[in-house]
Amino acid sequence: MTRPPVRTAPTGAVYFSLLGPLTARLDGHELPLGPRKQRLVLATLLSRPNTPVPVEVLTDAVWPDDPPRTARKNLQVYVSAARTLLGPAGREGRDRVVHGCGGYLLRIAEGELDTLRFGSLARAGRAAAGRGDLAGAARLLREALDLWEGPPLNDLRDSAGVAEEAGRLEARCLTVYEDWAETEIELGRPAVAVDGLRDLVERHPLRERLRAAWMNSLHQSGRQAEALAVYDDYRQLMARELGLEPSPAMAALYRSMLGRGREARRPAPAREAVSPAAPPACTAAFTGRPGELRELLEVLGCGEERVVVVSGPAGAGKSALALRAAHLLADRFPDGRVRVRVRREDGTARSRAEILAELGRLCGVAGNAAAPGNATSPGNAVSPEGGAGGDRAATAALADAWQEWQARHRALVVLDDVPDEASVRGLLSRSGTCSVLITARAQLAGLAPVHRIALPALADGEALELLGKLIGAGRLRADPGAALRIVRACGGLPLAVEVSGMRLAVLRHLPLAEYADRLDDSSAALDELVAGDVSVRHRIASGWQDLADGDRWVLGRLAGLAEGGGFTLDRAAEALGCGERAAIRAVESLIDAGAVTSPAGEVTAHAALYEVPRLLGLYAHEREGV
């Protein structure tokens, strides 16, 4: 790997590096960082720049097994040393490290930390690729990679907390290297990537995208025998270590090399249903949902149903279920499994043009949409110079290309976190053998014909299994009654159970019974359901924004009725101060939106017992002041 030139920060500013050993430089001179525990604190703060880091996370990084009674005081000493090293921030002279909300926040600019600079360059490189500027993309991605000096934080990885952050940083670096290598191959410059890819494959032998890029770079360089040997080695390794075959994409690349000289540029578009834009939810191993998973596999596996909608409230585990099913259905979809999020990070809906461009980029189809015969990037298909009419025409061309691709392939497309029917109606296959798996908070009643699966709350046993995976089976067995109170206070919502487990895994001293008492307090429960940057309130708030103003008011009124376990239509009409017909319409509107649950079997509206999920009800109380 090429070593970068000496980097300079603004005069008088310290420049920190995590992409290699932890270092700090001032005007080109390396600074001493003190004893190991002080460096662990600094590394943990730098790995989460401009983000509050809980005291518990810092404690766990420094003393993973048995923190001393003086741990908090010692942390204050280490943080004080970090403040001295960093100096004041900006012209205002503000404190670099501030304390609040139970943790420490380190203020640092992009030009002072290599990981921030790395991320900025990587984003710019991908944006350039999206515009069709492959040469610019290659240059920017290479600049990012020049900041990578080796395994991140390799001198502090004996700390489990730091090792986890280091692993996350290394995964980001590997992804950018793969982006860069594939871009160089697209530009017809495969030889520049060969040696670096070989070194990385030796360190990460089971990372398929790296190996595919190495194999392709050898092939495009005229070294076909070596390229085929890379595949054969990988096939044997997969069989020996995992008992698996290479993916259909890798096998397709191999076959193309056997049969068509140097035509193959990159693997076929068969991809795992994963995305870097995935929401920060349900990071634990998949748990529960056996009935729903079985139904998904049966429906999608038989090939008769082409569209399935999995619905449920925010945090119900819809994405986790969809990804699990997509993984298990690999052999039924030889042309791949592709996942695209239909919302942006702020919860707003993405445009159809954005979604089509991403689908085209992942599947290799939309590049010709804007101008037939022209290998333009899908990002160029929607030209800002074209005006509204040009944008509409380009989007229509993308849509036609996408429909044509679906008609000729058998793939599974996961459209994740869909806000409404209009967002996906033009994306569904009109013919062919592609299937679409949609996840949504609402039930999307306007889509037909589709197969629907609604996710209920986790059963007590499933929720306890998930909690046990995070806090340990021994701790669960020590107080099963309190554990049961915790998962029930979470309303069986997978995200809430997981956040509880993540929090308890850090707060090892906290008795389960005490935490259960906190969750039972309706005025404080949502405050307790926060772990790092994962917040149940934040996820529920995202779903709350989907509701119309009138529905929010209705939900606030009905939430109070649901505290006793449910409410009838008569009680709903009384609480809303309206007649029977209006009450039915109001309740059914919330059922359609996924905010109210109803019985699974057939029952008249008057006899039904409706429910509002506990945590959503608590949030409704907060917002509506009922």
413-447 confidence digits (pLDDT tens)? 999 999 988 888 888 877 767 889 999 998 888 88
The enclosing H or E element of 558 equals helix 549-562
For domain 547-624, the CATH architecture is: Orthogonal Bundle (1.10)
| Close Cβ partners of 134 (under 8 Å, ≥ 6 residues apart) | 128, 183, 186, 187, 377
| Close Cβ partners of 620 (under 8 Å, ≥ 6 residues apart) | 544, 552, 555, 556, 559, 612, 626
- Top CATH class, 192-268: mainly alpha
Do 155 and 136 form a contact (C-beta atoms < 8 A)? no
Q: How much is the average pLDDT of 520-525?
A: 89
The enclosing H or E element of 103 equals strand 103-106
Percent of the chain with pLDDT over 90: 21
Q: Which amino acid is at 241?
A: E
The model's pLDDT over 25-34, given as tens digits with 9 standing for 90+, comes to 887 788 888 8
Alpha helices in 87-190 (DSSP H): 114-130, 134-145, 160-186
pLDDT surpasses 90 at 557 = no
- Helix 480-489 to helix 460-471 angle, to the nearest 10 degrees? 110
Question: Looking at the chain, which residues constitute the CATH 1.10.10.10 domain(s)?
Answer: 1-189, 547-624
Q: Output the CA torsion 245→250→252→255 (10° steps).
A: -90
The model's pLDDT over 457-504, given as tens digits with 9 standing for 90+, comes to 888 888 998 999 889 888 888 899 999 999 999 999 999 999 999 999
Q: Which of 302-311, 448-457, 473-482, 558-567 has the lowest mean pLDDT?
A: 558-567
Question: Looking at the chain, which residues constitute the CATH 1.25.40.10 domain(s)?
Answer: 192-268
Confidence at residue 2, expressed as pLDDT on a 0 to 100 scale: 39
Do 97 and 106 form a contact (C-beta atoms < 8 A)? yes
Confidence at residue 271, expressed as pLDDT on a 0 to 100 scale: 41
Confidence at residue 437, expressed as pLDDT on a 0 to 100 scale: 94
Integer-rounded Cα Rg, in Å, for the chain is: 27
CATH 1.10.10.10 is the classification of domain 1-189: yes
Q: What confidence tier does 218 reach under pLDDT thresholds 50, 70, 90?
A: very high
Which tops the pLDDT comparison, 90 or 591?
Answer: 591
232 three-state secondary structure: helix
Angle, vertex CA 405, rays to CA 403 and CA 407, nearest 5:
70
161 three-state secondary structure: helix
Which tops the pLDDT comparison, 578 or 52?
Answer: 578
Confidence at residue 365, expressed as pLDDT on a 0 to 100 scale: 65
pLDDT surpasses 50 at 265 = no
Q: 449 preceded by cis ω (within 30°)?
A: yes
Nearest to 354 by CA among 342, 339, 370: 342
The enclosing H or E element of 360 equals helix 352-363
Tell me which CATH code domain 290-454 carries: 3.40.50.300
| Close Cβ partners of 597 (under 8 Å, ≥ 6 residues apart) | 456, 591, 610, 611, 612, 613
Q: How much is the average pLDDT of 202-210?
A: 88
Confidence at residue 259, expressed as pLDDT on a 0 to 100 scale: 65
- pTM beyond 0.85: no
